[in-house]
């Protein structure tokens, strides 16, 4: 992995706690404390981080089954609780890997594959439920919402990871690709089957926010210059307030709440519409804002 250049700000803790500016209230006070507790509990056991990622996928599948398999309102209560539990488990795999010192690009890819596999089935099940009232239009709307989900999640997550790299020197999947990690060289059966997903995951933000790549170049060029790295970190932190606000709105937490509210209203229709319309509007605003900030930041650093 890429070496971590010195940064003036305090980095995340050894357990992987995020810096406070990246946290919303649910993550700070509920999901991440529970995830760290679960990781500490699992640390002395035989359960590995990849198994935790798979458990998270199964929780999303269970939520899909509960939302559509029980009568309302029991379906809403059980489905919503299972989906909330996924947030805890989804954070525990990374915490566990860091506690054991086994964090890797492959584990990051496993986590991403499990997240997408879990939510793909959720959308299929919800579309089948909506098909009873909208017929074929349900599948069109579900496909549009699913594609929107991918773009929104990719944007939010890659901007978060870019910020962590610029400000705290925390490497991620992008640096594994640059250094020829085995998941991009088809070093095992998993990378052979899923490295295309990692490449697409990294290509999409380059299309949406190309100016972020210029900041990455500046950070790389400053690797031997602690003073310049400190300036990059300070300016990135000062300029990124609005960017981080958009990242939180486009992340998974609001989406889970919207789905729960939609199912409480009796149909996944409102959830699909919210993703296809409301969250896409936020995505457009976020992409525009992020590019403006990154362009100004690059100009100031250059």
Give the tens place of pLDDT for each residue, 231-289: 999 999 998 888 899 999 999 999 999 999 999 999 999 999 999 999 999 999 999 99
Q: Which domain holds residue 87?
A: 22-301
Domain assignment present for residue 6? The answer is no
CB proximity list for 202: less than 8 A, separation 6 or greater: 158, 173, 174, 177
CA 146 to chain centre: 15
What's 282's domain CATH number? Answer: 1.20.120.1760
Which segment of 1-10, 51-60, 166-175 scores lowest on mean pLDDT?
A: 1-10
Of 163, 179, 191, 23, nearest to 107 by C-alpha is 191
Give the tens place of pLDDT for each residue, 23-50: 999 999 999 999 999 999 999 999 999 9
Domain assignment present for residue 16? The answer is no
What total of structural domains would you count in the chain? Answer: 1
Domain assignment present for residue 122? The answer is yes
Domain assignment present for residue 15? The answer is no
Domain assignment present for residue 3? The answer is no
Average pLDDT over residues 171-190: 61
Domain assignment present for residue 99? The answer is yes
Domain assignment present for residue 17? The answer is no
Residue 142 to residue 146: CA distance in whole angstroms: 6
Domain assignment present for residue 41? The answer is yes
Report the mean per-residue pLDDT for the chain.
87
What confidence score (pLDDT) does residue 1 get?
39
């Amino acid at each position: 992995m890429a070496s971590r250049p010195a940064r003036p700000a305090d980095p995340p803790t050894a357990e992987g706690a995020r810096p406070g500016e990246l946290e919303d209230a649910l993550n700070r006070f509920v999901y991440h404390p529970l995830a760290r507790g679960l990781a500490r509990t699992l640390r002395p056991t035989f359960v590995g981080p990849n198994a935790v990622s798979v458990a998270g996928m199964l929780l999303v599948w269970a939520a899909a089954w509960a939302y559509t398999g029980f009568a309302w309102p029991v379906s809403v209560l059980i489905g919503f609780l299972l989906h909330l539990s996924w947030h805890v488990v989804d954070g525990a795999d990374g915490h566990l890997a860091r506690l054991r010192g086994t964090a890797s690009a492959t584990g990051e890819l496993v986590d991403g594959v499990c997240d997408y596999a879990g939510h793909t089935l959720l959308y299929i099940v919800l579309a089948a439920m909506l098909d009873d009232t909208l017929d074929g239009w349900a599948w069109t709307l579900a496909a549009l919402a699913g594609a929107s989900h991918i773009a929104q999640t990719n944007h939010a997550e890659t901007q978060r990871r870019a910020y962590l790299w610029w400000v705290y020197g925390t490497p991620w999947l992008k640096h594994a690709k640059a250094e020829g990690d085995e998941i991009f060289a088809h070093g095992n059966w998993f990378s052979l089957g899923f490295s295309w997903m990692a490449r697409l995951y990294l290509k999409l933000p380059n299309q949406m926010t190309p100016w972020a790549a210029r900041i990455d170049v500046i950070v790389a060029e400053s690797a031997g210059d602690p003073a310049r790295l400190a300036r990059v970190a300070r300016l990135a932190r000062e300029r990124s307030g609005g960017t981080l606000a958009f990242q939180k709105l486009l992340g998974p937490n609001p989406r889970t709440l919207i789905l729960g509210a939609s199912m409480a209203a009796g149909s996944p229709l409102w959830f699909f519409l919210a993703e296809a319309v409301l969250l896409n509007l936020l995505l457009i605003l976020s992409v525009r804002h992020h590019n403006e900030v990154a362009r100004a930041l690059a100009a100031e650093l250059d």
